[in-house]
């Protein structure tokens, strides 16, 4: 009889323990779901890219640059519903950003533009990295979106400067003068360097 009572008590204890663990697990799952929802809401609210050219000049010049148009279209489409959708969109944006190094229009194929494109790509890759972490640092993702917008503005303003500068007529002989200033075109010196130890006649 004592054996049956102790077995019954053990069974009740095990059953009670399982119920407590289930309740604990449910509470943890609910907490995790709320955390993921908060992350999603924060990213959803902060996911706003500047997807329109900031002025007419950029818009006109960029019509011929297919990679730029596709990149701007990609950042203009906002994902919906899940954090997974944002992760897919981030990967697509990163891929389109990498393509910006291809077929740059000749007037924009200059170091000032290329360096800005590199910075833009770096920040987009960072955003893509952070959004794919197991625990998504939503604040960092939102901050990087703002940084990407700043880089887009900087890039388009630089394009404007180049277009405006090209409109200024050059004076006669200015092109030759600029070519002379280009050190890469300089004629190498054929005279040997002076030996400092050699006595000089004065």
CA atoms within 13 A on the CB side of 107: 16
pTM: 0.70
Q: Could you tell me the two tokens for 44?
A: 């959803």
Type and span of the H or E element at 97: helix 83-98
Q: Are 120 and 156 in contact (CB under 8 A)?
A: no
CA atoms within 13 A on the CB side of 99: 15
Quick check: helix, strand or coil at residue 119? helix
Query: pLDDT tens digit string along 15-56?
Result: 556 566 666 677 776 777 788 888 888 888 888 888 776 667
Query: If you search the block for the tokens 């005279």, which residue do you land on?
Result: 191
| Spans of all domains in the chain | 47-166
Query: pLDDT tens digit string along 50-61?
Result: 877 666 766 776
103: region left, alpha or beta (phi > 0 left; psi from -120 to 50 alpha): left
Average pLDDT, the chain: 78
């Amino acid at each position: 009889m004592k054996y049956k009572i102790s077995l019954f008590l053990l069974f009740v204890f095990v059953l009670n323990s399982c119920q407590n663990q289930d309740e604990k697990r449910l509470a943890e799952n609910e907490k995790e779901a709320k955390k993921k929802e908060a992350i999603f809401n924060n990213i959803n609210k902060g996911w706003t890219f500047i997807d329109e050219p900031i002025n007419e000049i950029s818009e006109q010049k960029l019509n011929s640059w297919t990679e730029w148009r596709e990149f701007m279209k990609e950042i203009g489409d906002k994902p919906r519903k899940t954090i997974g959708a944002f992760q897919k969109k981030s990967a697509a944006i990163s891929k389109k950003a990498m393509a910006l190094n291809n077929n740059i229009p000749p007037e924009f194929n200059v170091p000032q533009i290329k360096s800005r494109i590199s910075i833009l790509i770096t920040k987009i890759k960072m955003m893509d990295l952070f959004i794919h972490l197991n625990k998504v640092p939503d604040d960092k993702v939102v901050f990087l979106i703002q940084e990407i917008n700043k880089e887009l503005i900087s890039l388009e303003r630089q394009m404007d400067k180049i277009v405006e500068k090209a409109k200024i007529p050059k004076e006669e002989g200015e092109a030759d003068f600029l070519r002379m200033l280009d050190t890469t075109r300089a004629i190498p010196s054929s005279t040997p360097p002076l030996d400092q130890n050699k006595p000089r006649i004065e």
